């Protein structure tokens, strides 16, 4: 909107602030998870499970059972064998739909571009099932919101207002901690207000 219009809105009673709707992107994209379960070691991509003593915590029975992990990110492979056993609910801010498969990358036709949420969710709670990887909390349940989408030019991003709409949905559905592995240069008052 023109800057004069923003000033008019900013001066109205009840308006706390008006700001640019910044663009957010996944911090990194990766390929799909492996098809046979990797054993965490210092020499593979699961070194974090070793260095943070997660392997020992899991061996002591701390698997995240009874916890719901929440992720705001891209679409998700809702049928992935490492995620499907723990998936509880999803929400797509772009279509305003929820349900077990509302953010499914195959149903949305974005399986090649929107791999980030599957990757992140696998790290958080990949099931201990002999496939792919085992996550930090393989006994936890997952709620996920699609807040980044494939744009016409093939990039993946979402605006701050879209991210915050997904965060709000997750919070309204019992999430107290929400993983957002997102980047973007603009500082946002809307995001800071939720911290």
Q: What's the pLDDT tens digit per position in 129-150? A: 988 888 999 999 999 999 999 9
Q: Look at residue 124 and tell me whether its pLDDT is greater than 90.
A: yes
Least confident of 5-9, 52-56, 155-159: 5-9
Residue 67: CB atoms within 10 A of its CB come to 13
pLDDT of residue 158: 93
pLDDT of residue 3: 66
| CA dist., res. 178 & res. 186, Å (int) | 20
The pTM of this model reads 0.78
| CA dist., res. 195 & res. 185, Å (int) | 18
- Taking residues 107-130, report their average pLDDT: 93
Q: Taken in order 98, 99, 103, 105, is the CA torsion positive or negative?
A: negative
pLDDT of residue 195: 52
| CA dist., res. 36 & res. 79, Å (int) | 16
pLDDT of residue 54: 87
Least confident of 29-38, 117-126, 156-165, 169-178: 29-38
Q: Which helix (H) or strand (E) holds 71?
A: strand 68-73
Nearest to 24 by CA among 194, 171, 172, 166: 166
Model pLDDT for residues 9-60, shown as the tens digit of each residue: 888 888 888 777 777 776 553 444 455 677 887 877 677 888 888 889 989 9
| CA dist., res. 53 & res. 74, Å (int) | 29
């Amino acid at each position: 909107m023109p800057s004069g219009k923003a000033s008019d809105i900013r001066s109205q009673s009840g308006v706390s602030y008006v700001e640019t709707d910044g663009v957010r992107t996944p911090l990194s994209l990766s390929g799909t998870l492996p098809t046979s379960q990797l054993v965490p070691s210092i020499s593979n991509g699961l070194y974090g499970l070793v260095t943070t003593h997660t392997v020992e915590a899991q061996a002591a029975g701390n698997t995240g059972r009874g916890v719901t992990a929440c992720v705001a990110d891209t679409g998700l492979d809702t049928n992935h064998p490492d995620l499907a056993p723990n998936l509880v609910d999803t929400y797509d801010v772009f279509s305003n739909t929820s349900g077990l498969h509302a953010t499914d990358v195959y149903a949305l036709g974005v399986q090649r571009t929107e791999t980030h949420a599957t990757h992140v969710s696998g790290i958080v709670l990949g099931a201990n099932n002999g496939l792919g990887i085992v996550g930090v909390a393989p006994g936890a349940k997952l709620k996920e919101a699609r807040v980044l989408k494939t744009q016409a030019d093939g990039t993946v991003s979402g605006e701050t207002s879209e991210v915050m709409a997904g965060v709000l949905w997750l919070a309204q559905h019992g999430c107290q901690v929400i993983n957002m592995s997102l980047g973007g240069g603009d500082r946002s008052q809307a995001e800071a207000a939720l911290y």
